[in-house]
C-alpha cells in the first residue's frame, strides 16, 4: 500500500463550504446577536474561533494520523462519548434549552453537544467492529443481534434528550455502513421495517412531533402555530427568487423565522442569494459526497472503506434532510446544515471527520494512469 498526495479537491470543497457558512452566519445572526449580546458579530466570532479555526487545526492534525490507528481507540472513544451522553442529565452539568437536554455546560468554556461527537466515534467503532465480523457478517446471532443492540443503546440515550433528528442521522449512517460491510438483505429489510415502525411510534407518542408531521402533510394548517416555522421558511425561500434580495438584506432574520442561525439557515441563504447561487451550494454538497464515496471505493482495506462510507453518508444525509425540510419535502427534524449552521461542536466534529477522510485518501488505490502521473510529478 503506497502513500500519495491527499484529495486536494475535497479539501478545497470543504474550505469553500465553511467560508460560505461563516459569511451567511454573519448575516443571518446579526439581529439576534445584537438583541442577545449587543454585538452584531457574537455568533460569527464564536463560530470562527471556537469552530472554524480550531476545527481546521484539528482537521490538519487528524489528516496526518494514519487512519488505521483509530481502530485501537475506537471502543474507548465510544465509551467516553456514551459517558458524555449520560452527563447531560447530571444537574448543574447538563444544559437545557427549548425543552431538550443535549448540552454540557463547562465553567469558563463553551457548551459541548455530545450527540455531535457520537456521530464520529460511533462510525469509527462500527467500522472496527464490522471489519472483525467480516466472515460472519450474514449470521443472525454473530452480527445482526449485536448490531441492533449497539444502535438501540445509542438511540435510546439520544431519545432520552430527546433528539430524533440526530438519532435518524446516526442510525441511517450505521445501516449504510452495515450494508457496505456485506450485511444480508434479509437483515437490512428487517432493519428497514423496524426502523420505520419505531420512527412512526416516536412521532405518535410526542404531540409536537405529531403536529410537525401533520403540518408536513398540510402546510397551510395552523400557519401561526405549529406550522409557523415551515411557512416562514417557504416564504423566505420563495422571496429570494432567482438571484436573491442581496447579501445581508434578509427580512425573515428579523425574528420572523425561528432558528435562523441553525436549522433554518438554508432559508436565509435562499432569501439573500437566490435560487441560482443556492444551486451552487447544493452542488458543493453533491460533489463532496462524490469525492467521499470515491475515497471509500478506492480505500485499501475494509476499515478505511467503512469509515469513509460512514463519514460521507453522515454529511450528505444531514445536508439532504436539512434542505429537504426547508422546502417541505420531509417533516422538520431539527438537523443542522453541515459546515454552515451555527454550532461549534458540530463544526469541530465534521472537520475532524474530514481530516480522517483526507488521510484515507492518501492511501487509496490508484489507477494505472494516476500512478504514472504521480511518478512523473515526483
Q: How many degrees, rounded to 5, is the angle at CA 239 between CA 238 and CA 244?
A: 110
**Domain assignment of residue 39, yes or no:** yes
376: confidence class by pLDDT, cuts 50, 70, 90:
very low
Tell me the average pLDDT across 31-52: 90
**pLDDT given for residue 215 in this prediction:** 75
Neighbours of 36 (CB within 10 A): 11
- For residues 13 and 287, is the Cβ–Cβ distance under 8 A? yes
Predicted confidence at residue 280, as pLDDT, reads 96
Query: pLDDT value at position 61?
Result: 96
Position 128 pLDDT exceeds 50? yes
Residue 3, in any domain of the structure: no
**Could you give phi then psi for residue 104, rounded to 5 degrees?**
-115, 125
Rounded Cα–Cα distance for residues 105 and 111 (Å): 5
DSSP secondary structure code for residue 69 in this structure: G
Cβ(341)–Cβ(21) below 8 Å: yes
DSSP 7-27: -HHHHHHHHHHHHHHHHHHHH
Domain interval for residue 282: 8-377
Query: In the chain, what percentage of residues exceed pLDDT 70?
Result: 92
- Interatomic CA distance for residues 240 and 24, integer angstroms: 14
CA atoms within 13 A on the CB side of 214: 14
Q: Which residues pair with 94 in a beta bridge?
A: 104
- 92/33: higher pLDDT: 33
Residue 76 has pLDDT above 70, yes or no: yes
Domain-embedded: residue 2? no
pLDDT bin (cut points 50, 70, 90) of residue 373 is very low
More confident: 372 or 252: 252
What are the residues facing 105 on neighbouring strands?
Answer: 111
Q: Using only the alpha carbons of the chain, give its radius of gyration.
A: 21
Does the residue 80 lie in any domain?
A: yes
Q: How many separate helices (H) and strands (E) can be counted in the chain?
A: 15, 3
Extract the C-alpha cell encoding 171: 442510525
Q: Per residue in 253-302, pLDDT tens?
A: 998 888 889 889 999 999 999 999 999 999 999 999 999 999 999 999 99
pLDDT range class, residue 369, cuts 50, 70, 90: very low
Please state the domain count of the chain. Answer: 1
Whether residue 1 lies inside any domain: the answer is no
Comparison of pLDDT for 337 and 138, the residue scoring more: 337
In the block, which residue shows the cell 446544515? 337
Amino acid at each position: 500500500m503506497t502513500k500519495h498526495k491527499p484529495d486536494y479537491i475535497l479539501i478545497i470543497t470543504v474550505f469553500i463550504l465553511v467560508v460560505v457558512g461563516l459569511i451567511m452566519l454573519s448575516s443571518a445572526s446579526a439581529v439576534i446577536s445584537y438583541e442577545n449580546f449587543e454585538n452584531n458579530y457574537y455568533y460569527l466570532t464564536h463560530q470562527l474561533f471556537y469552530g472554524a479555526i480550531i476545527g481546521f487545526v484539528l482537521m490538519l492534525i487528524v489528516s496526518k494520523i494514519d487512519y488505521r490507528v483509530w481502530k485501537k481507540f475506537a471502543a474507548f472513544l465510544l465509551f467516553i462519548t456514551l459517558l458524555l451522553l449520560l452527563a447531560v442529565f447530571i444537574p448543574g452539568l447538563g444544559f437545557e434549552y427549548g425543552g431538550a437536554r443535549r448540552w454540557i455546560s463547562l465553567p469558563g468554556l463553551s457548551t459541548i453537544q455530545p450527540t455531535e461527537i457520537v456521530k464520529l466515534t460511533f462510525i469509527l467503532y462500527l467500522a472496527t467492529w464490522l471489519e472483525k465480523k467480516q466472515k460472519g457478517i450474514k449470521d443472525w446471532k454473530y452480527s445482526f443481534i449485536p448490531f441492533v443492540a449497539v444502535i438501540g443503546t445509542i438511540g435510546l440515550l439520544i431519545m432520552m434528550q430527546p433528539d430524533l433528528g440526530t438519532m435518524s442521522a446516526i442510525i441511517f449512517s450505521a445501516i449504510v455502513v452495515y450494508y457496505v460491510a456485506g450485511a444480508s438483505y434479509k437483515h437490512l429489510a428487517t432493519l428497514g421495517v423496524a426502523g420505520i415502525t419505531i420512527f412512526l411510534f416516536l412521532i405518535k407518542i410526542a404531540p409536537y412531533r405529531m403536529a410537525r408531521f401533520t403540518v408536513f402533510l398540510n402546510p397551510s394548517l395552523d400557519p401561526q402555530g405549529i406550522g409557523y416555522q415551515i411557512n416562514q421558511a417557504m416564504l423566505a425561500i420563495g422571496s429570494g427568487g432567482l438571484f436573491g434580495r442581496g447579501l445581508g438584506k434578509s427580512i425573515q432574520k428579523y425574528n420572523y423565522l425561528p432558528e435562523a442561525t441553525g436549522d433554518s439557515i438554508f432559508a436565509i441563504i435562499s432569501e439573500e442569494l437566490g435560487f441560482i447561487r443556492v444551486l451552487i451550494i447544493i452542488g458543493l454538497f453533491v460533489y463532496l459526497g462524490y469525492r467521499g464515496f470515491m475515497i471509500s471505493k478506492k480505500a485499501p482495506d475494509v476499515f478505511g472503506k467503512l469509515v469513509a462510507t460512514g463519514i460521507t453518508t453522515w454529511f450528505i444525509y444531514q445536508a439532504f434532510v436539512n434542505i429537504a425540510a426547508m422546502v417541505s419535502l420531509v417533516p422538520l427534524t431539527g438537523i443542522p446544515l453541515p459546515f454552515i449552521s451555527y454550532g461549534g461542536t458540530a463544526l469541530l466534529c465534521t472537520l475532524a471527520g474530514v481530516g480522517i477522510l483526507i488521510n484515507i485518501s492518501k492511501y487509496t488505490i490508484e489507477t494505472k494512469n494516476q500512478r504514472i502521473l504521480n511518478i512523473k510529478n515526483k
